[in-house]
Chains A and B, each alone.
Chain A
Amino acid sequence: MSTSFDVLDHVMVPDHQIMSEEEVATLLSSYTITHDQLPKIYHDDPAVKSIGAKIGDVIRIIRNSQTAGKAESYRLVVKRPKK
């Protein structure tokens, strides 16, 4: 049996990067928003685990967009709420 695979290699998974604190600050001020207004991603999301991001980190996602070619998007890592 093959060893565990990396989800980031899959064609449907776009590039995920952890953003530095300065980058996050510039991002938030350029949109004049706060942390919790960003879209969310759960801490146990396979892509988050793969890049080793922690709760509170902001992730930059570089999507392959059908309209723009490449599009950047951002998500805040949050804990998965208990059902």
Chain B
Amino acid sequence: MEASMRDRILGADIPEKTRQQLIGYLSGRDVTEEQFGRILSQVINEYGYTRIEPAEAVGIIAAQSIGEPGTQMTMRTFHYAGVAEINVTLGLPRLIEIMDARKTPSTPTMTIYLEEEWSTNRDRAREVSWQIEAAPLHEFGDIITDIVDMQVVVQLNRDVFDRRKISIQEVMERAPKKIRDRHHYRDFESDSDEKAATLTFFPKERESYQNLFQLAEYVKNVIVQGIDDIERVVVRKEEGEYILYTEGSNLRDVFEVKGVDTSRTRTNNIAEISDVLGIEAGRNAIIDEALSTLREQGISVDVRHIMLVADMMCMDGEVKQIGRHGIAGEKESVLSRAAFEVTVNHLLDAAVANEVDILQGVTENVIVGQPIQLGTGDVKLIAKPINQE
């Protein structure tokens, strides 16, 4: 194949993937100019045939293509998906979750990739995981509720601090601050003794045992290291690098942690992705999540259908659910909305607001008994030029 032929392929009006396939197929072969011309025009022709026809009802086809295999999915699967005993919702519940565009999935989880320096060494990977996994104060020492002196004493264990690579001062400062900020509990004072490595809390009201025990509870559970939303981190080696899997998700905060690869780390929380990375990343997340959920169940749905659904959900700049609070509920036509769910409310509101239905969609025209504007029904007039050769 000659260089000029390559340029003609690259200039042809066919998808990038087809171009590359054609180049791959023809390179290293002897093709004459005439043969090449025929091949190229045939490929372009063939590509034209594979394109969807104008006015084809792609939405219905997508709905049926996802819906039918959906009936074969397990209704309730909350099983442990292979990866490191982290519980992930799969099957139909997960698919519904994706299409409903829930703010938080029922089992949020992250896959955290590390930068090269950290990803090859188990201990360094573990260091990053300490920064991420939420650790309550009781993991750093013994907590004693002293009923005689009405105080809660935390005897910090220096070995734990060495292992977790965090300084005692940091924890001593953070613990009282976080109890005030996160739990909105302020009726206490605290005192720290760095030499003895003790942290002491007193309730303001010295008479009440109830206050003391409540304070002890807060002290025990205050998160002093890691990110609050991430309950558990599992380090696993995959294809020569260490990857962190988490239970709980907080993309924004994890991106701030040193050693985290901010170009590959991902979460299964679609709303979070579209917040932090933008709507286009959200669209990709919907496609990836839906496809992997279906694939895990052994169902193969063509990606085009899922892409259509994802495009519709992300069309207006934010992730919208498919349903009465999203795409279906924001349709222009009153009759179309009324035909979906909560009929009476829509008709009543439309009457009050003096809405007009211009009968352009499918549903409305079916209701009033007119031909729908799809397929052959969309063609109004075909003009045949008189001066045709």
B257 interface hit (Cβ, 8 Å): yes
Q: Mark A63-83, 1 if CB is under 8 A from B, else 0.
A: 101111111000100101000
Interface members, chain A 20-52 (any B CB < 8 Å): 39-42, 45-48
A19 interface hit (Cβ, 8 Å): no
Interface members, chain B 107-151 (any A CB < 8 Å): none
Number of residues from B at the complex interface, CB < 8 A: 36
| Residue in B closest to A15 when the chains form the complex, CB atoms | B280
B15 interface hit (Cβ, 8 Å): yes
Interface members, chain B 265-309 (any A CB < 8 Å): 266, 273, 275-281, 284-285, 287-288, 303-304, 307
What chain B residues lie within 8 Å of A1 (beta carbons)?
Answer: 256-258
In the complex, the answer to whether A47 meets B15 with C-beta atoms within 8 Å is: no
How far, in whole Å, are A47 and B317 apart by their CA atoms in the complex? 12
In the complex, the answer to whether A67 meets B280 with C-beta atoms within 8 Å is: no
How far, in whole Å, are A13 and B265 apart by their CA atoms in the complex? 12
| Residue in A closest to B283 when the chains form the complex, CB atoms | A63
> Which residue of A5, A11, A14, A16 contacts B255 across the interface (Cβ within 8 Å)?
A5
What chain B residues lie within 8 Å of A65 (beta carbons)?
Answer: 15, 17, 307
What chain B residues lie within 8 Å of A39 (beta carbons)?
Answer: 311, 314-317
The answer to whether residues A2 and B256 also contact, given A39-B315, A68-B15 and a CB cut-off of 8 A, is yes
Majority DSSP secondary structure for residues of A touching B: mixed
The answer to whether residues A7 and B277 also contact, given A45-B317, A67-B304, A69-B15 and a CB cut-off of 8 A, is yes
How far, in whole Å, are A39 and B311 apart by their CA atoms in the complex? 9
What chain A residues lie within 8 Å of B281 (beta carbons)?
Answer: 7, 10, 12-13, 47
Closest 6 CB pairs of A and B: A69-B17, A69-B16, A68-B15, A47-B278, A5-B262, A12-B281
In the complex, the answer to whether A12 meets B273 with C-beta atoms within 8 Å is: yes
| Residue in B closest to A13 when the chains form the complex, CB atoms | B281
In the complex, the answer to whether B317 meets A69 with C-beta atoms within 8 Å is: no
Q: How far is the CB of A56 from chain B (nearest CB, A)?
A: 14
What chain B residues lie within 8 Å of A41 (beta carbons)?
Answer: 278-280, 317
In the complex, the answer to whether A2 meets B258 with C-beta atoms within 8 Å is: yes
What chain B residues lie within 8 Å of A68 (beta carbons)?
Answer: 15-18
What chain B residues lie within 8 Å of A70 (beta carbons)?
Answer: 15-17
What chain B residues lie within 8 Å of A7 (beta carbons)?
Answer: 276-278, 281
B binding-site residues for A, Cβ under 8 Å: 15-20, 255-258, 260, 262-264, 266, 273, 275-281, 284-285, 287-288, 303-304, 307, 311, 314-318
A binding-site residues for B, Cβ under 8 Å: 1-2, 5, 7, 9-14, 16, 39-42, 45-48, 61, 63, 65-71, 75, 78, 80
| Residue in A closest to B260 when the chains form the complex, CB atoms | A2
What chain A residues lie within 8 Å of B275 (beta carbons)?
Answer: 46
In the complex, the answer to whether B17 meets A13 with C-beta atoms within 8 Å is: no
In the complex, the answer to whether A46 meets B276 with C-beta atoms within 8 Å is: yes
In the complex, the answer to whether B318 meets A12 with C-beta atoms within 8 Å is: no
In the complex, the answer to whether B257 meets A10 with C-beta atoms within 8 Å is: no
Q: How far is the CB of A48 from chain B (nearest CB, A)?
A: 7
In the complex, the answer to whether A12 meets B266 with C-beta atoms within 8 Å is: yes
Given contacts A61-B280, A68-B16, 17 further A-B contacts (CB under 8 A): A1-B256, A2-B256, A7-B278, A10-B263, A13-B284, A14-B284, A39-B314, A39-B316, A41-B279, A41-B280, A41-B317, A45-B278, A65-B17, A66-B287, A66-B307, A69-B18, A70-B16
In the complex, the answer to whether A11 meets B263 with C-beta atoms within 8 Å is: yes
| Residue in B closest to A80 when the chains form the complex, CB atoms | B317
Q: What are 11 residue pairs bridging A and B, where the CB atoms are less than 8 Å apart in the complex?
A: A1-B258, A5-B262, A7-B276, A7-B281, A39-B314, A40-B317, A41-B279, A42-B317, A46-B277, A65-B15, A70-B16
How far, in whole Å, are A75 and B279 apart by their CA atoms in the complex? 10
How far, in whole Å, are A48 and B277 apart by their CA atoms in the complex? 10
Q: How far is the CB of A51 from chain B (nearest CB, A)?
A: 10
How far, in whole Å, are A41 and B260 apart by their CA atoms in the complex? 28
In the complex, the answer to whether B277 meets A13 with C-beta atoms within 8 Å is: yes
How far, in whole Å, are A45 and B276 apart by their CA atoms in the complex? 8
> Which residue of A10, A66, A69 contacts B277 across the interface (Cβ within 8 Å)?
A10
| Residue in B closest to A3 when the chains form the complex, CB atoms | B256
